[in-house]
Amino acid sequence: MTLHRSVLTSIAKGHHIRLRHTLVGSRPVPSHPRTDMNPLFCYTSGQWLWNEREQLEARQCRFDVPSLQQAACQAVGTDKCISFEKIGEGNYNKAYRLEMENGQKVIAKVPHPNAGPRVLTTSSEVATMEFARTVLNIPVPKVLAWSATDQNPVRAEYIIMEEARGSQLHEVWQDLSLRTKSEIIREFVDVERKLLSVSFNKYDPACSDA
C-alpha cells in the first residue's frame, strides 16, 4: 500500500510540473506545422492547446500588400507608401500602419476568416463607425476607403481609415494625475451613454439568416 501511494504521488507531481510548464513556462510544441510563417499574414499573439492548426488558419488572411498600399495612396491622394507594418491583431482582425511620402499615416484593417459573414461584417463595421462619428459625435476615425469583398486587387476585404490621434492609454496611465484619470473615465461613460441612447427597431431578415 505504501508503494502504491508513492507511485501515485510521483505521477501527480509529474502531471503538476508539466501543467505548470504549459501554463506558465515553456510553450508546447505545435502538433501541426504552421502553413504560413509570414508575420504579416499569420497570427502571432498566442497558441492553443487544442486544434491549433485550425485556430491559426481561422486567423490567417493572405492579401496583396502592394495593392493595399496603392489603395491607401489613392484614398489620401498621394503617390507612394514608404512604410508598411503590422501594429496589432485581435481575434478577428489585423491592423497595419501605412506611412506616405508626404508624412501622412493611415490604418488598414483586414478581417480574419472567422470575423463573420463575408460582405456583411465589413460593411456593417463601416456603417457603424460612420454612424458613431457623424450622428453620435463620437471621435471615431474617419473611414477613407473600404471593400466588403475580396474580388479586388487586394484580394481581401479591408478598411482604410485615419489614424487616431493621441497615445495609447496603457502607455501613459501610470503617469496621469487622479483628476485626469477621473476625466478620462467620465469620457468613457459618456461614450457608453451615447451608444445606449439609440435603438434600432428594424432589421433586414436576410442579414440575420446569413
Range of the domain at 93: 65-162
Query: What's phi and psi for 161, nearest 5 deg?
Result: -140, 170
Helix (H) or strand (E) run with residue 83 in it: strand 81-89
26 plus 90 within the same structural domain: no
Q: Are 87 and 150 found together in one domain?
A: yes
Which residues 6+ apart lie within 8 Å of 181 measured at CB? 173
Looking at residue 49, its amino acid is: L
Return the CATH number at 139.
3.30.200.20
Does some domain include residue 202?
Answer: no
Cα–Cα nearest to 86, from 52, 43, 146: 43
Cα–Cα dist 78/59, whole Å = 31
pTM: 0.76
Question: pLDDT tens, position by position, for the chain (210 residues)?
Answer: 333 444 434 444 444 444 443 433 333 334 444 455 788 999 999 889 999 999 999 999 999 999 999 999 999 999 999 999 999 999 999 999 999 999 999 999 999 999 999 889 999 999 999 999 999 999 999 999 999 999 999 999 999 999 998 888 999 999 999 999 999 999 999 999 999 998 887 766 555 444
